[in-house]
Structure 1
Amino acid sequence: MSDDAFPGWHGTTIIGVKKGGEVVVAGDGQVSLGQTVIKGSARKVRRLRPGGHDVVAGFAGSTADAFALLERLESKLEATPGQLQRACVDLAKDWRTDKYLQKLEAMLIVTDGEQVYMVTGAGDVLEPEHDVAAIGSGGNYALAAARGMMDSDRTAEEIARAAMEIAADICVYTNGNLTVETIGAHQ
């Protein structure tokens, strides 16, 4: 596959794991441009505090596009305090119908510690099955690894870290330099 056919949002790995009353979102730090690593310590997982409600979001895709989406999500959350699902649905609607937003290439994993959603530019707001969500080029590797550990005694953070380590060993667009955010229900 040529570099110009490779969608930009594939170049990272983000995972969300819900277990034991908490949700952990972890993301690698690699920023790639084609086959070149531009930066190895980017923060692709962020804690937002709109209206005093904690929300954690991780993004895969173009950094500028993701920041534009995070700003829009934050304004949706401020307009609907404590209603993560509604804010995500409103964002997805805008993303799908607004001519400017339609061009943005990114995906998000968003959680308030109770609910976990994957939000896409196709208008999707998906609640993951099995309490694990993953996006990006190493997302399927991390997802499979995490699902295989969900019945173990490991905590959500231990599962997320181990799954990311496996993804980083397999996916050339993912490194082991992690940003990890933990959020519990009503935090």
Structure 2
Amino acid sequence: MPKIKSTTVCAIRHNGEVAIGADGQATLGNTVAKNNVKKIRKLQEGKIVTGFAGSTADAFTLLERFDEKLSTYGGNMKRAAIELAKDWRMDRYLRRLEAMMIVADKEEILVISGTGDVLEPDNEIAVIGSGSMYAQSAALALKKHATQMTAEEMVRESLNIAADICIYTNHNLIVEKV
């Protein structure tokens, strides 16, 4: 059975605003299986926004675990992310999950991976998925040269540029602000 391919998720913090977005494409092998998947979720009454890339079922498992960690640690996003990463790396079941997450609140953006990493990205830009390097390049250029744009506009444009290049990324975008 062909593996489900990734997607593109991009988060940017710019001028005090944080936005995170993702495309809507899910592929199975070289076929588009669905073109309007929602890969962005709000947690903690909209105070935290997450985006995921990878296997959808695996991502939902991680989202549930992350939400539990947020509840356990009083909404402290960084602490919840670190505890999730520890569990993800140590737990035999979680270790097999194939997904990555970006989580963001008003103060910070974090990338969480199954290798136990919780990364605070440089330049307040986080990207994951198959089109991530295209979106990151675009986001870096926009942050540097298009300073009048909002974080949401930068996320949209970065994802659109990635969708023009990456076959696993489409133009059906969902973008949320924190």
TM-score (norm 2): 0.95
**Counterpart in 2 of 1:118?**
111
Does residue 69 (structure 1) correspond to residue 62 (structure 2)? The answer is yes
Equivalent residues of 1:53, 1:82 under 8 A apart: no
**Counterpart in 2 of 1:172?**
167
**Counterpart in 1 of 2:93?**
100
Equivalent residues of 2:23, 2:39 under 8 A apart: yes
> For the residues of structure 1 that align with 2:6 and 2:60, how far apart are their CA atoms?
16
Structure 1 residue 21, shift from structure 2 partner: 1.1
> For the residues of structure 1 that align with 2:15 and 2:77, how far apart are their CA atoms?
20
> For the residues of structure 1 that align with 2:46 and 2:55, how far apart are their CA atoms?
26
Structure 1 residue 70, shift from structure 2 partner: 0.2
> CA offsets, 1:83-142, max 9 Å, x none?
111100000000000000000000000011211000000000000000100000000100
| 1:137-152 matches, cutoff 5 A | 137-151=130-144, 152=146
> For the residues of structure 2 that align with 1:59 and 1:87, how far apart are their CA atoms?
16
Does residue 15 (structure 1) correspond to residue 15 (structure 2)? The answer is no
**Counterpart in 2 of 1:44?**
39
Among residues 15, 29, 33, which one is paired with 1:34 in the alignment? Answer: 29
TM-score (norm 1): 0.91
**Counterpart in 1 of 2:126?**
133
Q: Which amino acid aligns with 2:160?
A: E
> CA offsets, 1:131-167, max 9 Å, x none?
1000000001000100011032111011111100100
Structure 1 residue 82, shift from structure 2 partner: 3.0
Among residues 68, 78, 84, which one is paired with 1:85 in the alignment? Answer: 78
**Counterpart in 2 of 1:182?**
177
Runs of 4+ in 1 over 2 A off after TM superposition: none
Equivalent residues of 2:58, 2:97 under 8 A apart: yes
Give the superposed CA RMSD. 1.4
Structure 1 residue 24, shift from structure 2 partner: 0.4
Structure 1 residue 11, shift from structure 2 partner: 1.7
| Paired-residue identity, % | 49
List alignment gaps of at least 5 residues for structure 1.
Answer: none
Equivalent residues of 1:88, 1:125 under 8 A apart: yes
Does residue 156 (structure 1) correspond to residue 154 (structure 2)? The answer is no
SS at match of 1:60: strand
Q: Which amino acid aligns with 2:99?
A: A
